[in-house]
Amino acid sequence: MVEQHDDQENIGSNPDPRRPIGELIAERLSRRGLLGGAAALLAARTAGAQDTGNTPNGGPSTLSFPELRHQLAARDAVAEGHESQVVIRWGDPILAEAPDFDPRAQTAEKQARQFGYNCDYLDFHPLPKGSRSSDHGLLVVNHEYTSTSLMFPGIGAGRQARLRVTPDQARIEMAAHGGSVVEVKREGGRWGYVKDSRYNRRITLSTPMRISGPAAGDPRMRTKADPTGTRVLGMLNNCAGGNTPWGTTLTAEENTNFYFGGAAAESGPQAAHYKRYGVVKDSLYTWGRIDPRFDLDQEPNEPNRFGWIVEFDPYDPESVPVKRTALGRFKHEGATYAIGKDGRVAFYSGDDERFEYLYKFVTARPWDPRNPAANRDLLDEGTLYVAQFAAGGTMRWLPLVFGQGPLTAANGFASQADVLIEARRAADLLGATPMDRPEDVETNPATNRVYVMLTNNNRRTAEQVNPANPRARNVHGHVLELIPPGAGSREGADHSATEARWEIFIAGGKPGVDHGAQYHRATSNDGWLSCPDNCAFDSKGRIWISTDGADDAAGVADGLYAADTTGAGRALTRLFYQAPVGAEVCGPRFTPDDTTLFLAIQHPGESGNSTYDRPSTRWPDFQEGMPPRPSVIAIVKKGGGAVG
Ligand code: FEO
Ligand code: CA
Ligand code: CA
Ligand code: CA
């Protein structure tokens, strides 16, 4: 998201990150056999890095694809021996009677029946349900936000475009947010979607949803339209997500502050609370003019009803999505699960903002594979924890429980609902570790180690570094590896434990050029990456990392990189796919047999002064008059076999 995510002025920042413990860093580094201090980290790590060229067999890597060369171009590129197929694009008709896409004659009604904008999270649920089919299934897709400048003719660029939006155009944008469920099939070697399938669904800002868990019904969740505080229309800025062992999808509301504005942001009774969540008087979108619920002065509680994890059944298009408040309210990047050895389920979730925190929720009860009904509301009861990292490679998970520690009336919390609605403030009081924008968090099924993408933080000063975020002005981000007790053992890991160990898996940037970059020593000139965002694991336990915020100055577009996580090729990242200019790569998702890798190519052409009329790319159609279109692609190996 260039305009929103990576325009650094639009990414919020925890205004008062705790001052960390500089002397602990040197200790941490020396434990890793390095010299003390961040400069030594650079020296020690980059001394080993060398340009080994693009070895076709990848040196000690188990990934055998010929590595791509870094590029920044109007077209995308995939490693030789593979082909990419466009599965579905913004505007493609999904539901019955949906018209073909015509960007010059678009309406909100049409858009609500067509594939939405800016695809992000991807999930693949096989068909028939319960099978392990890799040729047929349901694709679940988030539509995170809308790139106004690229959607409407003559609208111009940047902030001006959003101020020029007409009410009809704003309603189109509202209908282009949310999510899609689409039946997809591989026939004759090609992936496509099934129009008007009985499974197909659009979720928009008008979709009725239920609010459940400890904050449901709380006075701070009530509005004129919903005096019960238990029902809400739609979801906003759904970035990544996850799923559950019981077969539902989770979708994560992220930058929900972009949509609400009004004078109350500065003067109302919730002003301090709004500020902590980045809600300001002049919102990025200007929808308060069109719908009073986005106007704080008319509906001061509406923002409290966004910023949650939403659960729904992808196989039932009539199912009512549920906002699960027990998982806390913040800028959720996603929520991915790992089953602990006691059968309780942990959901890891990052709060994607500078100096914000890493969380996990652990269900109160084990899940029951034999009794689906018993799992239906498992996400309503459990404990939300926030991460506190220490030197020496240890960490603790601190519970956000009303009445415990500082989370009491003395600090303005009247209930667990308050703790969850203001999870950030509760985490501040507990002494959580301020991170470099936690994005996706995924557990490697092969080792039970947990990987945390920390995308970047250009505001961290040398005084603010901490053991798990050791670089000042961390513009390239890093990846942390958490090791829960028992990870790698036959009995399985204890994901509900309140402590774990940790390591830095990689640190982004170009080795030898960017301060502190850290990879396997054989990582090539094209294998380094910047701004890790989403990730996935193939069934061999290799990590595939997608990026958002690549190094344009170095001529590098966002892409997808793969690496072993164990063995001689550990942390040897290799470039597999490179996006068209302006796009980030989202939602890496393999089919169960690894023969297809789905990618969401989000905001192609969103760069600089690129507009509908003069876009920097017309990917993927490359037709005069057709703007760039965010699309889902499928990557397969030519001649068949596992990708990579
Ligand atoms: Fe929407 Fe954190 O990326
Ligand atoms: Ca993301
Ligand atoms: Ca992911
Ligand atoms: Ca991002």
How confident is residue 303, by pLDDT bands cut at 50, 70 and 90?
A: very high
Task: For residue 532, report the distance from its CA to the centre of ligand 4, in Å.
Answer: 8
Position in ligand 1 atom list of the atom nearest CA 439: 2
Ligand in nearest proximity to the CA of 599: 3
**Pair 269, 395: CB distance under 8 Å:** no
Kindly list the strands in the beta sheet with 631-637, ordered across the sheet, starting from the edge strand earlier in the chain: 82-89, 631-637, 596-602, 584-590
Quick one: pLDDT band at residue 10, thresholds 50, 70, 90?
Answer: low
Other CB atoms within 10 Å distance of the CB of residue 202:
24
The closest-lying atom of ligand 1 relative to the alpha carbon of residue 237 is 1
* Exposure string over 548-583, b if 16+ CB within 10 A, otherwise e: bbbbbeeebbbbbbbbbbbeebbbbbbbbbbbbbbb
State the distance from the centre of ligand 2 to the C-alpha of 29, rounded, in angstroms.
29
> Residue 455 CA: which ligand 1 atom is closest?
2
Residue 254 alpha carbon, nearest atom of ligand 1: 1
Atom of ligand 1 nearest to the CA of 240: 1
User: Which residues are near ligand 3, the ion (C-beta closer than 5 Å)?
Assistant: 440, 534
The ligand placed nearest to the CA atom of residue 451 is 3
Which ligand places an atom closest to the C-alpha of 237?
1
Q: Which ligand is nearest to the CA of 331?
A: 1
Q: What is the rounded CA–CA span in Å between residue 470 and residue 457?
A: 11
Q: Which ligand sits closest to the CA of 352?
A: 1
Is the predicted pLDDT of residue 606 greater than 90, yes or no? Answer: yes
Q: Which atom of ligand 1 is nearest to the CA of 144?
A: 1
For residue 33, name the pLDDT band (cuts at 50, 70, 90): very low
Question: C-alpha angle 379/385/386, rounded to 5°?
Answer: 135
pLDDT band at 30 (very low <50, low <70, confident <90, very high): very low
What ligand is nearest to the CA atom of residue 455?
4
Strands 322-324 and 208-212: parallel
CA–centroid distance, residue 368 to ligand 1 (Å): 32
Residue 548 CA: nearest ligand 1 atom is 3
Identify the pLDDT of residue 122: 98
CB-based contacts of 631, cutoff 8 Å, min separation 6: 86, 87, 88, 89, 90, 119, 600, 601, 604, 619, 620
Cβ-Cβ contacts under 8 Å for 188 (sequence gap 6 or more): none
Confidence of residue 158 (pLDDT cuts 50, 70, 90): confident
What mean pLDDT is predicted for residues 510-532? 95
The answer on pLDDT for 391 being more than 50 is: yes
**How many angstroms does the Cα of residue 333 sit away from the middle of ligand 1?**
5
Q: Tell me if 144 sits within 8 A of 120, measured CB to CB.
A: yes
3-state secondary structure (DSSP) of residue 92: coil
pLDDT tens, residue by residue, 176-233: 999 999 999 999 999 999 999 999 999 999 999 999 999 999 999 999 999 999 999 9
Angle between helices 38-48 and 23-31 (to 10 degrees): 30
Q: What is the pLDDT of residue 32?
A: 37
What is the C-alpha to C-alpha distance for residues 482 and 476, in angstroms, rounded to an integer?
A: 20
DSSP states along 164-186: H--HHHHHHHHHHSEEEEEEEEE
Residue owning the nearest CA to atom 1 of ligand 1: 239
Q: How far is the CA of 225 from the centre of ligand 4 (A)?
A: 33
Query: Which residue would you say has higher pLDDT here, 12 or 530?
Result: 530
Closest to 86 measured CA to CA, from 638, 612, 600, 604: 600
Question: pLDDT category, 25, cuts 50, 70, 90?
Answer: very low
Spatial contact of 50 and 572, defined as CB atoms under 8 Å apart = no
Going from the Cα of 9 to the center of ligand 4, the distance in angstroms, rounded, reads 14
How far apart are the CA of 519 and the centre of ligand 2, in A?
22
Q: Cα(117) to centroid of ligand 1, in Å? A: 15
Q: Which of 7, 14, 117 is closest to 330 using CA atoms?
A: 14
State the Cα angle at 551 between 545 and 557, rounded to 5°.
65
If you measure from the C-alpha of residue 605 to the centroid of ligand 3, how many angstroms do you get, rounded to a whole number? Answer: 23
Round to whole Å and give the CA distance between 324 and 420.
11
Torsion of CA 239, 244, 249, 254, to 10 degrees: -20
pLDDT at res. 54: 54
Please tell me the least confidently modeled range out of 4-18, 36-50, 169-183: 36-50
**What integer pLDDT is reported at residue 439 of this predicted model?**
98
Q: How far is CA 264 from the centre of its chain?
A: 30
**What value does the mean pLDDT of the chain take?**
92
Q: Which ligand is nearest to the Cα of residue 440, counting in written order?
A: 3
- Taking ligand 2, which is a single-atom ion, which protein residues have CB atoms under 5 Å away? 239, 533
The pLDDT, as a whole number, for residue 24 is 37
- 8 Å CB contact between 5 and 11: yes
Residue 426's pLDDT band (cuts 50, 70, 90): very high
Mean local confidence (pLDDT), 478-500: 96
Residue 12 scores a pLDDT above 90 = no
How far is Cα 295 from Cα 292, in angstroms, rounded to an integer?
A: 5
**What CA–CA distance (Å, rounded) separates 426 from 236?**
23
Kindly list the distances between the CA atom of residue 639 and the CA atoms of 65, 81, 448, in Å, as whole numbers in the listed order: 14, 9, 32
Atom of ligand 1 nearest to the CA of 239: 1
CB atoms within 10 A of CB 185: 16
Average pLDDT (156-177) is 94
CA of 278 to the centre of ligand 4 (A): 17
123 Cα: distance to centroid of ligand 3 (angstroms) = 9
| pLDDT above 70 for 44 | no
Ranges of H-type helices in 330-442: 372-375, 416-421, 423-430
What average pLDDT does the segment 418-434 reach? 98
Q: From ligand 1's centre to the CA of 440, what distance in Å?
A: 8
DSSP assignment of 581-637 equals TT-EEEEEEE-TTSSEEEEEEESTT-STT--SSS-S--TTT--TTPPP--EEEEEEE
Please give the pLDDT value at position 502.
Answer: 98
Residue 614 burial (CB < 10 Å; 0-12/13-18/19+)?
exposed
Distance from the alpha carbon of residue 142 to the mean position of ligand 3, in angstroms: 12
Alpha carbon 10 to chain centroid distance?
A: 17
| Domain edges within the chain | 3-254+307-554+561-637
* pLDDT for position 9: 45
Sheet with 336-339: strands ordered across? 336-339, 345-350, 358-363, 382-390, 394-399, 499-507, 478-483, 450-454, 438-443
In sequence order, what are the residues at sequence separation of 6 or more whose Cβ sits closer than 8 angstroms to the Cβ of residue 293? 223, 225, 299, 302
Closest approach atom of ligand 1 to CA 331: 2
* Residues in contact with ligand 1 (CB, 6 Å cut-off): 1, 5, 144, 239, 254, 333, 352, 439, 533
Give the number of the atom of ligand 1 that is nearest the alpha carbon of residue 350: 2
Neighbours of 370 (CB within 10 A): 5
Q: What is the predicted pLDDT for the residue at 58?
A: 73
Q: Among residues 253, 260, 334, which one has the least CA distance to residue 546? A: 334
pLDDT of residue 599: 98
Q: 402 pLDDT band (50/70/90 cuts)?
A: very high
1 alpha carbon – ligand 1 mean position (Å): 7
Q: Are 619 and 630 in contact (CB under 8 A)?
A: no
**Predicted local confidence at residue 56, as pLDDT:** 55
Q: Which atom of ligand 1 is nearest to the CA of 1?
A: 1
Percent of the chain at pLDDT > 70 equals 92
Strand partners, 564: 570
Q: Which ligand is nearest to the CA of 243?
A: 3
